[in-house]
Amino acid sequence: MISPQQVEEMIKIELPDALVQVQDLTGGGDHYQVTVVSSQFANKRLVQQHQLVYGALKEAMSSEAIHALALKTYTPDAWQNNH
């Protein structure tokens, strides 16, 4: 089990400028919905953006501390336009 705060911290190590929102979908600490806004996503395809986040969570994912992850990524401009 891993806390939402730990998920956020792991992402921010790799993407220090990121705005990160983490929601525990089941209350069990292993199914999360994560929204990440970062300028490091600029000029990257969606799959590349997701790879950056998955890279930050690689250890937790491979150890199955995180079993499922619903991921949404945005550049700051895209975030402002959508929210």
* Average model confidence (pLDDT) across the chain: 94
DSSP 8-state symbol, 53: H
Q: What CATH number does domain 16-77 carry, 3.30.300.90, 3.40.50.720, 3.40.190.10, 3.10.450.50?
A: 3.30.300.90
Q: What is the per-residue pLDDT for 29?
A: 86
List beta partners, residue 22: 34
Q: What is the per-residue pLDDT for 32?
A: 93
Q: Locate tokens 């705060």: which residue?
A: 5
Q: What does the pLDDT look like over 8-36, one tens digit per residue? A: 999 999 999 999 999 999 888 889 999 99
User: In percent, how much of the chain has pLDDT > 70?
Assistant: 100
Q: How confident is the model at residue 57 (pLDDT cuts 50, 70, 90)?
A: very high
Global confidence as pTM: 0.92
Q: Rounded to the nearest 5 degrees, what angle is found at the Cα of 72, between the Cα atoms of 10 and 49?
A: 70
Taking the domains of the chain in order of start, what are their residue ranges? 16-77
8 A C-beta contact, residue 33 and residue 4: no
The arithmetic mean of pLDDT across residues 53-62, rounded, is: 93
